[in-house]
Amino acid sequence: MPPTNDAVRRDASPLGCSDSHHGLPELSVVIPLLDEAPNVDALYRELTETLDAWGRPYEMVFVDDGSTDGTFERLARLQASDPRLRVVRLRRNFGQTAAFSAGFAAARGRLIATADGDLQNDLREIPRMVDKLGEGFDIVCGWRKARRDPWLSRRLVSFVANRLISRVTGVRLHDYGCSLKVFQAGVVKSLRLYGEMHRFIPAIASEQGVRIAEVVVNHRPRRHGRSKYGLSRTPHVILDLVTVKFLLSYSTRPLQIFGLVGLAMGAAGGAITAWLAYIRLFGGQDIGGRPLLLFGILLLFTGVQLVTLGLLAELQVRTYHESQDKPTYHIREVIETPAGEPAPAPAPAPRE
């Protein structure tokens, strides 16, 4: 039966309801900056012009990730004249993932948009992405279909990485590396990001059962400075991808990965040693000098160790979740009758 007028719909996110009546912004735009002094003024001007024309309450959260070129001084000057701008200055360069995390923690909006500070992301796309989010999505990701970057060092590597990440995580996107995204705030505020996992946010958040959309966005060539990313980042991305795959598939059941591998190795080792024992007992052959004997024993012991490791990991996972009262599920919304109000009368049974 559909909910009656007496029912109340509550979003599971603590920021699920509108904050306009409490003086809080509807949208927070989080942008990390590292040595982007030449871009600061143009970035601020483009963002304010776009969001002023949009016409809804907003704030800008610029995170200075340990810049040494005067970026913070320019941000401080802008903030002194515009209270909608909030500047978070990190003590040193902690990396883009940490900068995004700091920005998410400081953001007060019901929605959070992210972008890079190099002016390659077209900030005029944000209102269109917010509208897309309003169609029932939790995350809207930008797709730099006509990317304005070098082909070999950026576009080719990105294409391969996006295909690999999509296949491994099961969340199929054309452009994981695009920082231009819009989120329901409750989605990203609940995430704990480490390493360089900011690019994997849609995949990590998929564990919550989020709805993800992707839209084509404009991409521009870099005006000043040089990119902080290149081929040297590839090993880090691969290692983070392994971590994300483990978190998505086995974070609450580690025994199923360690145990399965351990059982397979133990079974193989048992089969080898059983066959060697058979030919020794019934064939009279000497097996003491066979490398296969040592290999079979190694498989047996390794299998037992992996199963034991899986059991220890299970205990650790339970301690992790229970000590922090961390649920293993995520609620989208609750529909109920407010306390103290009479329950609605049941709908009449349909006539036969």
Residue 32 lies in a domain: yes
At residue 154, the pLDDT reads 72
Residue 343 lies in a domain: no
At residue 65, the pLDDT reads 94
Residue 294 lies in a domain: yes
At residue 288, the pLDDT reads 78
Question: 173: which DSSP letter?
Answer: -
For residues 238 and 267, state if they share a domain. no
At residue 216, the pLDDT reads 95
At residue 127, the pLDDT reads 96
At residue 185, the pLDDT reads 94
DSSP-assigned states of every residue in 281-345: HHH----TT-HHHHHHHHHHHHHHHHHHHHHHHHHHHHHHHHHTT--SS---EEEEPPTTSPPPP
For residues 245 and 266, state if they share a domain. no
Distance CA 323, CA 160 (A): 40
For residues 235 and 278, state if they share a domain. no
Residue 338 lies in a domain: no
For residues 76 and 26, state if they share a domain. yes
Q: Give how many domains the chain has, as a whole number.
A: 2
At residue 152, the pLDDT reads 66
For residues 245 and 265, state if they share a domain. no
At residue 215, the pLDDT reads 95
For residues 265 and 187, state if they share a domain. no
Nearest to 192 by CA among 204, 181, 206: 204
Residue 351 lies in a domain: no
Where are the extended beta strands (E) located within 137-279?
139-143, 181-184, 212-216
All residues at 6 or more sequence positions from 197 whose CB lies less than 8 Å from its CB, including other chains = 97, 204, 240, 243, 244
Tokens of 28: 């927070």
At residue 227, the pLDDT reads 62
Domain boundary among 212, 233, 250: 250
DSSP-H helix ranges across 107-233: 126-133, 157-169, 185-189, 201-205
For residues 125 and 265, state if they share a domain. no
For residues 317 and 168, state if they share a domain. no
Residue 237, domain extent: 9-250
Nearest to 280 by CA among 297, 291, 293, 298: 293
At residue 19, the pLDDT reads 46
All residues at 6 or more sequence positions from 304 whose CB lies less than 8 Å from its CB, including other chains = 262, 266
Torsions phi, psi of 330, nearest 5? Answer: -135, 130
At residue 315, the pLDDT reads 87
At residue 11, the pLDDT reads 42
Residue 347 lies in a domain: no
At residue 7, the pLDDT reads 38
At residue 131, the pLDDT reads 95
Residue 4 lies in a domain: no
At residue 321, the pLDDT reads 64
For residues 290 and 179, state if they share a domain. no
For residues 275 and 206, state if they share a domain. no
Domain boundary among 226, 250, 274: 250
Residue 235 lies in a domain: yes
Domain boundary among 250, 274, 307: 250
For residues 38 and 117, state if they share a domain. yes
Q: Which residues of the chain have pLDDT under 70?
A: 1-22, 151-153, 224-233, 321, 324-330, 332, 339-352
Q: Beta strands 27-33 and 8-11: pairing type? A: unpaired
For residues 243 and 263, state if they share a domain. no
Question: 233: which DSSP letter?
Answer: G
Q: Write the CATH number for 63.
A: 3.90.550.10
